[in-house]
Structure 1
């Protein structure tokens, strides 16, 4: 039985106090010392909070950044590298160091921790998705705290999550968590710069509540990849799929897990949908754009039909079969995304034509939809 089977819908932050399964994400800025590398004091303080909750009977999955940061000092680097190869090298060195700290800290509380490294493909391809789900379920059943991180050492620019906030939202969906808690060095979302007397935003019930709010994009340490913007996006992704989320500081982790009035609470505003569709809607690397006529817009957007070449009026980008593209109306408004079945150079000759005519002239392989309905997601439907 999953956490959500046991714990109700969770419309307020007090829900966290009784949640049976929680995903907790901590950022690099919360685990880094002033001198560089991992702060053992900060890590042990977080582990104490998580271990206490785990021993009380809650299943906890910890999504932890920090591998690249942990690898900087041993490699003689003073700041986070910008090129992917050096990031991968730092992650390769740092991941083992980070897990050594976690294993030692959790062991001091009598809790076993494990390492789970994921790539975007693990959560978007069904075979890998099933394996990841099975592994995490088994670890939780055995009383282990899985520590999840993106597999930075092998991830490429095209298939990266980009930051662990969004990874945490997808993991919460994967394990059917009751709540997602996103921890950083900022205690809450504010309606302006906190230093300038801004007001804390206590609750967000829908994306419309954030209209006009300027959200920061980087943390004070300057070594992470997220910032408040990605935490808000991750919280909205979770809430959109039926999982409430809390954004607060690592210093307030104990209060957060106790359901106290801290941070910003994102209430549920949608229903669950497949994790592959979440990835396509929020995280996929967009390689092109298809412009549709009004009839195709209605067919795709209102009647949820597959996209056929007859309704496409223009194509831009450089994409191959299986790549993600945006779908927009004649005014340029993007309303959907999908995985295309053709190479970009194939489409111009197909525009405005029926699949029957294309198959007769060009061959049966041109009788397919441009985007099948199962590979298409509407944005803000």
Structure 2
């Protein structure tokens, strides 16, 4: 019997397909446009079957190595950015040529973590992607490596693809790389157990996920984290090998499937929990932690023990317990300096204009 989650991916009308660097390069790390063309064929078949597809494509830095006559993938930030600058041109041209065979136009969308974290830019990116789809253009999304720094990287576009899947309201996310699914350890070392379906956190007991390759920056740890992020937001995920792209996109019969949460997370709650950049933290007493986490109630100043960071009303902040553990994230109603004067005070003791919750329950997401 076919898994209902595989069936959901097979019949999804809107799909985000993430393609890793290793799927677009030879074993020696040279960008290979013919591999990209083969993937475009599989994606075209899915679109012909009636699905909208947004592509999140890695490979810009790898595509810039040969034109710049570099001997290997650069390790310093400036050369990475230079390689990305050259490689992004080669990469989008390769996608354009591949889809031109099907009389399809492509559009490049470069995003940074900052674009996703800021609500206005987040909305603008959403509008651009939606409009490209409405105009029947194929959106090719990539991290803007030419301006990104190590501190704001997505991680080989794995996390970016999960964020984009929610951004465009996709019905499924397909992660294509050089591995055919999830194993409990490195399959290249032998005795690894294959996991065909992840329906809950218990299915990951004993799983050891490693880091990325010399060309990419993702690795299984990044893919697993991103798959769980998308699934938690309500998007089913398929992790498969790029070599199996045809089957992955046709009927989802290969790879590891991640079951989504039953109800889709709202766009605002998803942004608060996963996408927004926190600009400060509020420390809570035990009673406030229970109210926020267990009872889903608004956070009042009386339950706050300390304030840190420089933030303004409308910013996203972390809510931490007395031991420093992050228990929730939320949109704060006051500036840091204003809230510092309210710490531990009962609402009835505050002026009328300060009697709103510090973080309203509607703007709060437990983590």
Quote the residue 1:46 is aligned against.
Answer: 39
- State the TM-score, normalizing by the size of structure 1: 0.83
The alignment status of 1:30 with 2:18, answered yes or no, reads no
Q: Which residue of 1 aligns with 2:231?
A: 239
Partner of 1:371: 359
Shift in alpha-carbon separation, 1:308–1:82, aligned structure 2, 3 A: farther
Spell out, residue by residue over 1:317-344, the C-alpha distance to the aligned partner (whole angstroms, 9 max, x if none): 5443366543233354432123445666
Shift of 1:218: 1.5
- 1:91 is aligned to 2:79: no
> Residue 13 of structure 1 is aligned with which of 1, 6, 9?
6
Hey, what does 1:6 align to over in structure 2? none
Give the corresponding residue for 1:304: 296
Q: 1:189 aligns with which of 166, 182, 191?
A: 182
Q: Does 1:313 align with 2:301?
A: no
Alignment counterpart, residue 115 of structure 1, candidates 108, 113, 126: 108
Equivalent pair of 1:300/1:306 in contact (CA under 8 Å): yes
Mapping for residues 72-221 of structure 1, pairs under 5 Å: 72-155=65-148, 160-195=153-188, 196-219=190-213
Any idea what SS the aligned residue of 1:281 has? helix
Report the Cα distance in structure 1 between the residues aligned to 2:279 and 2:161, rounded to whole angstroms.
25
How does the TM-score come out when normalised to structure 2? Answer: 0.86
Cα distance in structure 2, aligned partners of 1:310 and 1:253: 54
SS, match of residue 176 in structure 2: strand
CA deviation string 1:166-206 (max 9, x = no partner): 22112222222221100111111012221312121000012
Aligned residues: 363
Return the alpha-carbon distance in structure 1 between the equivalents of residues 346 and 152 of structure 2: 33
What SS is found at the alignment partner of 2:345? coil
Q: Distance in 1 between matches of 2:351 and 2:37?
A: 64
* Secondary structure, counterpart of 2:298 in structure 1: coil
Tell me what 1:62 maps to: 55
Deviation at 1:76? Answer: 4.2
1:5 maps to which residue?
none
| Cα distance between partner residues in 2 of 1:274 and 1:162 | 24
Task: Decide whether the 8 Å contact of 1:320 with 1:343 is kept in 2.
Answer: yes
Q: Within 2, Cα distance between the matches of 1:355 and 1:324?
A: 22
- Are the equivalent residues in 1 in contact too, given 2:316–2:329 (CA < 8 A)? yes
**CA deviation after TM superposition for structure 1 residue 356, in Å:** 5.9
- Segment of structure 1 superposing worse, 58-67 or 289-298: 289-298
C-alpha deviation, 1:16, in angstroms: 3.1
Does residue 246 of structure 2 align to residue 257 of structure 1?
no
**C-alpha distance in 2 between matches for 1:371 and 1:70:** 46
Alpha-carbon contact 2:330-2:363 (below 8 Å) kept: yes
Deviation per residue, 1:20-48 (Å, 9 max, x gap): 22111001121123454421121111111
RMSD over aligned Cα atoms:
3.0
1:261-284 CA-partner distances (Å, limit 9, x unpaired)? 311101122422234433442355
